[in-house]
Amino acid sequence: MMGPDYDGGLAGDRLHGHPPPMPNDNGYQLDHDRPNMTPSPSYQNGAFPPPSLPPASPALSARSDPRRSGERNRSRGRSGRTASGQLRVCAKCGEPLTGQFVRALEGTYHLDCFKCRDCGQIVASKFFPADDEETGGQYPLCETDYFRRLGLLCHQCGGALRGSYITALDRKYHVDHFTCSLCSTVFGAQDSYYEHDGNVYCHYHYSTQFAQRCNGCQTAILKQFVEIFRNGQNQHWHPECYMIHKFWNVRLTPPHESKEPCPEPVDAEGRERVRQEEEDMENKVYRIWSVLSTFEESSAACISDMLLHVSNGAYMDGVFVAKKFIIHVDILFRSADRLDQTIKKFEMNDLSYAREAKLLCKKIVAFFSLLSKMQEANARKLGVTQELLSLVTGLAHYLKLLIRICLQGTLRVEKEQQTPEALFQFLEDLSVLESIKNDDESMQITLGMSRLSANDSDHCTSCRKPIEDECALCGDKRWHLFCVSCVRCGKELGKSLDQARLHRDQKVYCTSCGSQIEEWGQALERITKLQQYIFLLKVALARLLEILRSSGALPLNSEDPNGYDSVDGRAPTDDNPAMPRSDSRSKSVSGERERHQRESSYENTLNDVRRLRSTRLDKHLSSSLRKARTSRIMDGPEGRSVRPGSAGAEMGLQSKAMQIEEDGEPGEDDTTKQYFGHQDALTLDDIPRIVAAEQAREQQPSAYRTSRQELFRSATAEAAVGGSTERSLSTGRDMDQRLPDDRLPQRDGRKFFSELSGLEYFIVRHVAVLTMQPMLGPEFTLEELLGLIEARKATFWNKFGKAFGKNDPRKAAKKKGVFGVPLEVIVERDGADSTDGVGPGALRIPAIIEDTITALKNKDLSVEGVFRKNGNIKKLTEQVAAVDREGCDVIRWNDETPHQLAALLKRYLRELPDPLMTQKLYGVWIAATKIKDTDKRRHCLHLTCCLLPQIHRDTLEVLFSFLKWVATFHQVDEDTGSRMDVHNLARVIAPNILYTNEKSPSFSDEPMTAVACVEELIQFNEEMCMVCIHT
């Protein structure tokens, strides 16, 4: 500690100096006696000010103690010279020194001249030297101002920070001063805190007073969240809740069921209760998302592999994957049965999933039937057929519907019974999949299926007819429930199986009649409808294996122990056929080279779909949770004090360099990274996109190969080619720098419309006009086509006409509500980001269309007449009025029927002031459709798509993608289907999106031409959504 001397002279002159004043002789007050200073504003974290500051204000002299001034004046009358005769002067004021003085900083000062430069306080007791850049010397600072210049003052108390301190919100605090703004809660270095408007809050006060409520579960968001602008307002979601709603259209707590934050509790128990409720909800949504997404990803991988292997002719690989898929279905059905039992126990309304479950099983059986037909026809390679693609799409759709129905059922039980038991039991049942995956025996196609392949294996023991519903089981025998009756008394036992017994004579007796027989019979077990469906799937699989074996597609090779299993070590025989193990790979009958090319191309498609999803689901995650950082001052400066008569005492005492040791930045919670970062796995929503890619390959193989690299590639989400891919946010330019030359994607100039900038879209529209004008020359001039896309600038005469009441149709358009509002207005006010388009990224479309399509995707669209049959007209009118008043959230989407939702969508499209395909372009659409040459017609329609306003084009892309998917359900089997293929959908949609207000002759063929136009646009939607390569 360095201090000034206050004495009468130098050390050598001490005998000649005046004696110090007595304590009662107007003594001066040392620095430690002055009152505490008010807090000074702190510098930013780690920001150290320059060593020099402006000189002290002249006003400081007015604050001097008059007694000290008088003392100095009295002393000035004494001798001002040293013993050697030199005149001693003050280094601050330049006046002679007499009496008491201070020696410090290589100079001498009057006692009241030795002050802190910043605050003017006398610092004789302790000071901190600071370098003066102007003079090259030093000047004193008090402790507070010295640490203030270093940015090391506590934000709470204003005191200097020594030892450990806390850094948070760009401020520094003493360890025990970092507290909640509303209570005395002290935050440790690793404790979480929350910030609102620059203030720090504890968990409870932030949660109950300031936190955003999640739009999915209605609880406080205390960690990361996703912010989405919907329906004119910002919606905040937990990442888990957002993904659950995105994948299954389920909210854990609908907005109308939200709870108000609880009032201030009087004790710690109430606060802990709030924390516990929020943690329970957080754990619940995480558990739902992790289990369901894992189950769905595994199921989607099976469906994708089934499509690959079967289309490539690798039948045994396809059959093995089908067996894995049946295991997934079995697990889900068992979970649904247990949930159904829970619902019955609580006497609630039953779940409604019988139709979806039956259609799912029919799709699987149809898949097996397709394989068997190809074997009978000796067709060794099936290829990608429309029937196969329809089957694959149906498998994904109905499995997803069943997952959603069960999830909704568990949430209904929790709401009505106030217990999450059913939910966690359902999730626990689905988690069994992980253990089965690791069990090789369960994945093998075992010999037990040889008995199932018999023609009567699925027949009733009594009536010898197939069983397709719930039944009774004893051993390997099954009965219809209505066939179970006592052979002696005739009593029907189907509803009371506990009274039925099967005896040695293979006859069923009731317990009363059975008691008269010496031996007690075996009890009968009730088999649910879903369990019977699983049994029938196994029967179908066993019969397919028998067909494959008899046709030679399943060869018997006892010398290959790795390919087939025998039972009990016996060699394969006719009665004991060998079955493939889970790790066996059947060889495709097509050439190895062709198969390799096929698998490589298919894998590229999968990687593109993964990258597409990565771009669409990429959301910025914000965080409410914060953590402080601990720092420690290891070698801090020490103040220097005054010691009488110690001339030169400061010599050799150098100021220590400041050393601050800081802990690392607190890591962010990595839990939610998997919600958006795990992009390698497929989901059930990816299956339709894979199907669309395969359809494009089959329909236009050469064009598909040339545009292959661009089909799903995004300029903002490139990923490494080949192998597993992870989400990357690097640009395409960065990607080109990372990849070797031989792995660079071969770009051919094709882009999706959604990837174009505003300038690029402007250029494309004008180039399209120049390209298409020769095709439409007889009907449209170049000026007329340019007039369709160029906005006319306002002129003086336009304004003059408006002043005299000239009607402006845009001014008369409806502005409020949803229905009948211009598309550009509704998108700006009540828009939504849709990921249901063809290209990468999200498309901004009306929220009413996004919500309706999402709801329809979670319905069974195989019901007859979707989009053709009208819904409830009265209810539709009420819904339109309600949406206009309160927005889209007023409708309970999950409670509506497919017909009602389709009618609502058509009503919205029909009431748009300007049709979706626009009035201005009506003539162009009709003229282009009438071109006879197929290639020219399609090319001209493609160019016409370029002329659409961007909002109209984006909405059309989403709508047509959805309608093409709907068309895959036009025929599920001989008896089931919507009967709405692409042509029929075009007939009911075209009058709502492509029409003119001008009167046409009654015999005009334009209505049918409009239908043909819409049909072709839906059928080739993927191609229409890319910038034409000829443009």
Q: Is the pLDDT of residue 101 over 90?
A: no
Contact 474, 524 (CB under 8 A): yes
pLDDT digits (tens, 9 = 90+) for 157-192: 888 887 788 888 878 888 888 888 888 888 876 777
Mean pLDDT along residues 700-727: 36
Mean pLDDT of 393-417: 93
Strand order in the sheet with 659-662: 171-174, 164-168, 629-635, 659-662
274-312 burial: b if 16+ Cβ within 10 Å, else e: beeebeebbebbbbbbbbbbbbbbbbbbbbbbbbbbbbb
The answer for residues whose C-beta is within 8 angstroms of residue 536's C-beta and 6 or more apart is 361, 365, 458, 468
DSSP states of 210-274: TPPBPTTT-SB--SEEEEEEETTEEEEE-HHHHHHHHHH---SS-GGGPPPPPPPPSSHHHHHHH
pLDDT at 963: 95
Point out which residues pair with 630 in neighbouring strands: 166
- The strand pairing partners of 151, in sequence order, are none
Backbone φ and ψ for 613, nearest 5 degrees, come out as -65, -40
Cα–chain center distance at 627 = 24
509 three-state secondary structure: strand
Measuring CA to CA, how many Å separate 265 from each of 210, 261, 273, 627, 968? 16, 11, 10, 25, 57
pLDDT tier at 884 (50, 70, 90 boundaries)? very high
User: How far apart, in whole angstroms, are the C-alpha atoms of residue 679 and residue 56?
Assistant: 63
Mean pLDDT calculated for residue range 944-965: 93
Nearest to 170 by CA among 324, 55, 46: 46
pLDDT beyond 90 at 958: yes
Judged against a pLDDT cut of 60, whether residue 912 lies above it is answered with yes
Residue 153's nearest CA partner among 130, 178, 171 is 171
CB neighbour list of residue 147: distance below 8 Å, 6 or more residues apart: 153, 160, 161
Q: Give the C-alpha separation, 88 to 97, whole Å.
A: 5
Contact 636, 162 (CB under 8 A): yes
Mean pLDDT within 206-220: 88
The string of DSSP letters for 971-1004 reads -SSSS------HHHHHHHHHHHHS--SS---TT-
Supply φ then ψ for residue 173, to 5 degrees: -135, 150
Concatenated DSSP letters for 770-827?
Answer: HHHTTTTTTT--HHHHHHTTSPPPP-HHHHHHHHTT---HHHHS--SSSTT--HHHHH
| In contact, 188 and 177? CB cutoff 8 Å | no
Q: How far apart (Å, rounded) are the C-alpha atoms in residues 819 and 309?
A: 48
The predicted structure's pLDDT at residue 586: 39
Residue 553 scores a pLDDT above 80:
no
Tens digits of residue pLDDT in 758-769: 888 888 888 999
Non-local (6+) Cβ contacts of 970 within 8 A are 977, 978, 979, 980, 981, 984
Mean pLDDT taken over the chain: 74
E strands in 483-602: 500-502, 508-510, 522-523, 525-527, 564-565, 579-580
Res 672: pLDDT: 42
**Amino acid 61: pLDDT:** 31
Per-residue tokens: 697:
């390959």
Task: Judge contact between 295 and 433, C-beta under 8 A.
Answer: yes
H/E segment holding residue 107: strand 107-109
Confidence grade of residue 734 (pLDDT, cut at 50, 70, 90): very low
**pLDDT of the residue at 966:** 93
Q: Chain-centre distance of CA 554, in angstroms?
A: 44
At 357, list the tokens. Answer: 């479950």
**Contact predicate 627/191, CB 8 Å:** yes
How many percent of the chain have pLDDT more than 70? 67
Range from 6-10, 466-470, 890-894, 913-917 carrying the lowest mean pLDDT? 6-10
Highest-confidence range of 57-71, 427-441, 661-675, 935-949, by mean pLDDT? 935-949
The phi, psi pair for 1017, rounded to 5°, reads -65, -40
Q: In sequence order, what are the beta bridge partners of 980?
A: none
pLDDT score of 384 more than 70: no
Q: Is the pLDDT of residue 719 over 60?
A: no
pLDDT at 849: 95
- State the Cα–Cα distance between residues 425 and 340, nearest whole angstrom: 12
Instruction: Please compute the mean of the pLDDT values over residues 618-628 and round it to a whole number.
Output: 59
Q: Provide the 8-state DSSP code for 10.
A: -
Question: Domains of the chain by range and CATH?
Answer: 1-160+632-660 (2.10.110.10), 295-450+547-556 (no CATH), 462-543 (2.10.110.10), 592-619+678-750 (no CATH), 758-791+817-1024 (1.10.555.10)
Closest CA to 236 of 224, 251, 253: 224
Helix or strand holding residue 299 (H, E): helix 268-311
**The pair of three-digit structure tokens given for residue 536, joined into one six-digit string:** 């029938």
**Among 264-278, 469-483, 763-777, 797-811, where is mean pLDDT lowest?**
797-811
Mean pLDDT to the nearest integer, 873-902: 91
Mean pLDDT on 770-785? 87
Q: How far apart are the first and last CA of the chain?
A: 81
Helix, strand, coil: what percent of the chain each, to 5? 45, 10, 45
CA separation, residue 94 to residues 53, 87, 88, 89, 926 (Å): 21, 11, 9, 5, 100
Could you read off the pLDDT of 300-312 as tens digits, one per residue?
A: 999 988 888 887 7
Residue 45, pLDDT above cutoff 70: no
| Dihedral angle computed from the Cα positions of residues 209, 211, 214 and 219, in that order, rounded to the nearest 10 degrees | -50
Which carries the bigger pLDDT value, residue 163 or residue 830?
A: 830
**569 beta partners:** none
The DSSP secondary structure of 829-898, one letter per residue, reads HHEEEE--SSSSS-EEEEHHHHHHHHHHHTS-TTSTTTTTS---HHHHHHHHHHHHHH-GGGS-GGGS-H
Using alpha carbons only, give the angle 979, 985, 991 rounded to the nearest 5 degrees: 140
Q: What is the mean pLDDT of residues 220-229?
A: 84
Of the listed ranges 14-18, 552-556, 840-844, the least confidently predicted one is 14-18
Residue whose tokens read 């067709």: 379
Evaluate if residue 40 carries a pLDDT over 70.
no
Tell me: pLDDT of 900 over 60.
Answer: yes
Residue 459 pairs in a beta bridge with: 466
Structure token digits, residue 638: 């020490």
User: What single string gives the DSSP state of each residue in 159-201?
Assistant: PBP-SEEEEETTEEEEGGG-B-SSS-PBP-TT-EEEEETTEEE
Euclidean distance between CA atoms 871 and 139, whole angstroms: 88
Q: What are phi and psi of 975, to 5 degrees?
A: -110, -15
The mean pLDDT of 479-508, rounded to a whole number, is: 90
| Maximum average pLDDT range among 376-390, 950-964, 991-1005 | 950-964
pLDDT over 90 at 812, yes or no:
no
**Sequence-distant (≥ 6) Cβ neighbours of residue 417 within 8 angstroms:** 346
Please calculate the CA angle 286-292-294 and round it to the nearest 5 degrees. Answer: 100
Using 50, 70 and 90 to split pLDDT, how confident is the model at 605? low
Q: Which two tokens stand for residue 211?
A: 């936190």
Amino acid at the residue 639: G
* Assigned token pair, 373: 């037909």
Q: State mean pLDDT over 995-1019.
A: 88
Residue 803 CB contacts under 8 Å (≥ 6 apart), including other chains: none
Distance of alpha carbon 486 from alpha carbon 507, whole angstroms: 8
Whether residue 815 has pLDDT greater than 90:
no
- In the block, residue with structure tokens 């882009």: 751
Exposed / middle / buried, residue 40 (Cβ in 10 Å: 0-12, 13-18, 19+): middle
Please tell me the predicted confidence (pLDDT) of residue 95: 83
Do 732 and 693 touch, CB atoms closer than 8 A? no
| More confident of the two residues 987 and 638 | 987
Looking at residue 347, its amino acid is E
**Percent residues over pLDDT 90 in the chain:** 27
Q: Could you tell me the CA-to-CA distances from 259 to 213, 219, 239, 263 in Å, in that order?
A: 10, 8, 20, 12
Beta bridge partners of 480: 471
Question: Do 867 and 906 form a contact (C-beta atoms < 8 A)?
Answer: yes
524-533, 622-631, 775-784 — which is least confidently predicted?
A: 622-631
Question: What integer is the mean pLDDT of 465-470?
Answer: 92
d(C-alpha 104, C-alpha 106), whole Å: 5
Judge whether residue 907 has pLDDT over 50.
yes
Q: What is the mean pLDDT of residues 768-788?
A: 87
Task: With beta carbons less than 8 A apart as the criterion, state whether 111 and 90 touch.
Answer: no
What pLDDT does 920 receive? Answer: 92
pLDDT score, position 556: 52
